[in-house]
Amino acid sequence: MNKQIFLLFFLCCNFIFSQYQINIKASVLDQKTNKPISLANVNFKYTKIGAFTSNSGVFNLKYDEKLINDDDVFVINAKGFKTIEIKVSQLYKFLRNTNKFYLQRDDNTNSWVKDLSLSTIDESGPNLFGKVFSVSGPIQGATIRIKNSLVEAQSDFDGYFNIDAQVGDILVVNYLGMIEKQTVVEDFDDLYVLLKTEAQILDEVVLSSTNKNEDNLVDTGYGRKNKDAVGFSNSTITKKDISAGATSLVDVIRGKFAGVRIEGYDTPRITIRGGTGSMNTPAYAIYDVDGLIFEDFPNFINAQQIESITILKSYGATNRYGSVGRGGVFVIRMNSLYKGSSQTLDSALIKGNDYEEELGMISFENNSKYIKELEEAFSFENAKEIYIKQTSNLEFKSLPYYFDCYDYFKRWNDDFAFYILTDAVISAKSNPKALKALAYKMESIDRNLDAELVYEHLLKIRPYHEQSYRDLALIYSKNKKYVLAADIYKKILLNQIDEVEVLGLQKTIANEAYHLYSNNRDAFDFKNFPIDVLKNILPNIDLNKNINQKTFIRPKDFGYDYRVVFDWSDSNIEFNVQFVSPSKKFFNWSHTKFENKDQLIDEIKFGYNTEEFIIDDSQKGEWLINIDTFSIESDINPTFLKYTVYKNYGRDNEISKTSVINLNRLSQKLTLDKLFYN
């Protein structure tokens, strides 16, 4: 028997199995402006039931009636506003009249917290509109910034942007693989910016050959075609793209194709963005090896004998293979010597990945002119005088200047040092790149509650970026706000976030979501947590546990000896990470246009900037992690890298450390860290 009661405020009660399922759907608004308040925390006090408001200020709170009593307290709080607390008995009466909650602003809130929290509500809006495009059409994800400032914007799917600029400002516009363009704002008419590719610039000064390039022909499953003329979604690498150190097909594929996620190593399964599967029921790729179709991963392939690999990932490309190809196809062609030979080379004999370098350790010392001036101070007050004099003489305070001054002043006064960082946050409140770096810095100094505020603001200004949701869920978990963290992970895993499908960070989020579930499941409503989705993403972990049992036993096979996570503040940055094993063999992961352009474009398009690496049940001894960068950036707002290493991740004895590196100061390849594996 089902019984439904509909109230004016959308309070729905469904009588199922002798109990009510209650769903409260309502809005939270700013009393002063009547504008929606996003990321307001809505919960029942001292319970595991809670949610947060969307960008439109709406929340959905579902719970079993038996879990909440009339004397329980319903709470709404949002940073920069006064908290509302009301008993449940009064709540139901209130909701019979309206489904809108109005919050009053809290004048006692810390100044920078209030400024940042209210900035998306009070902002008057940008005054310059424009569009970025190339000869091929609009450019999504182009960066538009005002020179010598931290004001920045990004073009949308159709290439449009808006930015708070003034007449006389110089706009700097760039995009991956394009020539940077600068233009002066002369008026507030719509601005149209045409970017040329690096190849176009070369074409203007170099005569192009009319000879057909044999290397441009690839096997698509329908025969050899020019890869530029293929009419469906594909991506190709050839033998010249395969490093001498690649010993398996996994080594060849990893990092070479955008949207490709690899699960496992010995018997991997691969998903391709663009296949017809979903996060809940992924469709795995199949393999066409010289015309033979394999649904299981072809481990027998010798990486050094591959002629080419082409990914087909649209309906037009996969209809040749029928429904079995719905997850995409790897078309693999071997060279003729390999086809006629039954012999395989011992992977240990392959040359090219022996590590023979001697590198120095990365240093975080700073010898800039302004720090040398501060070092001459004989007291805190004297240092402040020097700082004030410096800032009055500087045309603009760069992000590294803020960071360096924080590092200097923390020896004198923690509050003043942190004030410098919060001043930077307000100056950069429209600049996601700078805000990410500042949040990284706050995490590295254990100011996680302050970092939380920055990550919340990032989600407000970048609501369609995958990274915004992952970062916020992770910082909520760090701050023991497990109900909110679980709510975000649940929405991600069940694809319940409008216009956002988190695929680029799928495995990373799965690891972090299961970490939350396995370590803190008693702190939130775990019965509704999408554990079945995690089973699909983490197939090698035994998640077949009875979630109703009172004593939860963490699966023995969840957890890693080392989990290394890199986050970077700008997807356009080019750098290389190198892992060196105790046996002095190296593995490179390259974040460059030359090696991994499709991946960089995917990051820019879908808004993510994280990569994780797992070292588990591996060689004992000392592992090296080296880093090198290839980008030259302005020192006003360079890219920062957050490096987090977890030892015994997911286990009772887990420990971690976080470092933040200004990649613009990395003038040579250096060792970032040494991990001792025993």
* Cross-strand bridge partners of residue 269: 263
191-194 and 128-134 beta bridge pairing: parallel
Residue 261 forms beta bridges with which residues? 271
Nearest Cα to Cα of residue 260 among 342, 328, 348, 161: 328
Structure tokens at 71: 């004397």
Whether residues 17 and 104 share a domain: the answer is yes
DSSP state of 408: H
Q: Which residues contact 130 (CB under 8 A, 6 or more apart)?
A: 144, 160, 161, 162, 163, 190, 191, 192, 193
Please, what is the end-to-end C-alpha distance for the chain in angstroms? 61
Burial annotation 646-677 (CB, 10 A radius, 16+ → b, else e): bbebbbeeeeeebebbbbbebeeebbbbebeb
AA identity, residue 129: F
Whose tokens are 């690496």? That residue is 613
Please check whether residues 676 and 597 belong to one and the same domain: yes
Residue 251's CB is within 10 A of a number of other CB atoms, namely 18
Asked if residue 135 and residue 73 are part of one domain, the reply reads no
What pLDDT does residue 206 have?
40
Backbone φ and ψ for 649, nearest 5 degrees, come out as -60, 130
Read off the tokens for 529: 């947590």
Residue 176, number of CB atoms within 10 A of its CB: 18
Are the beta carbons of 258 and 274 closer than 8 angstroms?
no
CATH of the domain at 172: 2.60.40.4130
Q: Are 135 and 100 part of one and the same domain?
A: no
Query: What does the block give as tokens for 255?
Result: 């990092």
> Do 99 and 218 sit in the same domain of this protein?
no
Successive 10-residue mean pLDDT values, the chain, 678 residues: 35 44 91 92 90 90 87 92 93 91 89 84 75 88 86 86 88 86 88 78 37 46 44 66 84 82 79 59 80 81 86 58 75 63 31 77 82 92 92 83 94 94 92 95 96 95 93 96 92 87 87 90 80 80 49 58 94 91 87 82 90 86 92 88 95 93 91 90
Instruction: Report d(CA 82, CA 17) in Å as an integer.
Output: 39
Q: What is the pTM of this model?
A: 0.74
What is the domain count for the chain?
Answer: 4
What DSSP string runs through 48-116?
S-EEE--TTSEEEEEEEGGG--TTSEEEEE-TTBPPEEEEHHHHHHHHTT-SEEEE-B-TTS-HHHHHH
486 with 476: CB under 8 angstroms?
no
Distances (CA, A) of 254 to 13, 239, 249, 271: 49, 15, 9, 12
Q: What is the spatial distance between Cα 440 and Cα 643, in angstroms, rounded to a whole number?
A: 9
Q: Are strands 19-30 and 100-103 parallel, antiparallel or unpaired?
A: parallel
Residue 81 in domain: yes
- Provide the domain limits for residue 313: 214-349
**Residues 223, 187 share a domain:** no
| Residue 146 lies inside a defined structural domain of this protein | yes
Residue 209 lies in a domain: no
Query: Do residues 197 and 134 make contact, with C-beta atoms less than 8 angstroms apart?
Result: yes
Length of the chain: 678
How many Å is the maximal CA-CA distance in the chain?
A: 82
Q: Which of 451, 504, 502, 468 is nearest to 54 (CA)?
A: 468
Are 469 and 502 in contact by the 8 Å Cβ rule? The answer is yes
Other Cβ atoms within 10 Å of 255 Cβ, number: 18
How many Cα neighbours within 13 Å face the side chain of 361?
Answer: 6
**Does residue 228 belong to any structural domain of this protein?**
yes
What CA–CA distance (Å, rounded) separates 599 from 605?
10
Domain assignment present for 163 = yes
Query: Residues 168, 172, 173, CA angle at the centre, nearest 5°?
Result: 135
- Summary count for the chain: helices (H), strands (E): 17, 34
In a domain, 530, yes or no: no
Residue 198 exposed, middle or buried by CB count within 10 Å (0-12, 13-18, 19+): exposed
- Element of type H or E holding 146: strand 143-146
Instruction: Specify the residue for token string 């989705």.
Output: 533
- The answer to whether residue 566 is domain-embedded is yes
Ranges of beta strands (E only) in 227-290 are 234-238, 260-263, 269-272, 286-289
- Which of 58, 81, 109 delimits the end of a domain? 109
For residues 598 and 647, state if they share a domain: yes
- In single-letter form, the type of residue at position 290 comes to D
Residues 568 and 633 occupy one common structural domain: yes
Domain boundary among 349, 381, 396: 349
On whether both 98 and 224 belong to a single domain, the answer is no
Q: Which two tokens stand for residue 383?
A: 């240092």
Cα angle 446, 481, 441 (rounded to 5 degrees) comes to: 25
Torsion of CA 420, 153, 603, 439, to 10 degrees: 10
Q: How far apart are CA 425 and CA 431, in angstroms?
A: 9
> 286 — phi, psi (to 5°)?
-115, 175
Q: How far apart are CA 119 and CA 126, in angstroms?
A: 13
Q: CA-CA distance, 561 to 521, in Å (whole number)?
A: 22
The set of residues, in sequence order, having a beta carbon less than 8 Å from that of 159 and lying 6+ positions away, is 131, 132, 133, 137, 138, 139, 140, 142
Q: How far apart are CA 354 and CA 587, in angstroms?
A: 10
CATH number of 327's domain: 2.170.130.10
In sequence order, which residues have a C-beta less than 8 Å from that of residue 294 and are 6 or more positions away? 286, 287, 288
**510-524 burial, b for 16+ CB within 10 Å, e for fewer?**
bbbbbbbbbbbbebb
Are 337 and 231 within one domain?
Answer: yes
Evaluate whether 50 touches 43 at the Cβ level (below 8 Å): yes
Distances (CA, A) of 42 to 25, 26, 510: 11, 10, 25
Are 187 and 306 within one domain?
A: no
Residue 11, domain member (yes or no): yes
Helix (H, G, I), strand (E, B) or coil at 644: strand
Q: Which pLDDT belongs to residue 293?
A: 77
Q: Which amino acid is at 230?
A: V
Whether residues 134 and 104 share a domain: the answer is no
**Which of 109, 141, 174 represents a domain boundary (last residue)?**
109
CATH number at residue 54: 2.60.40.1120
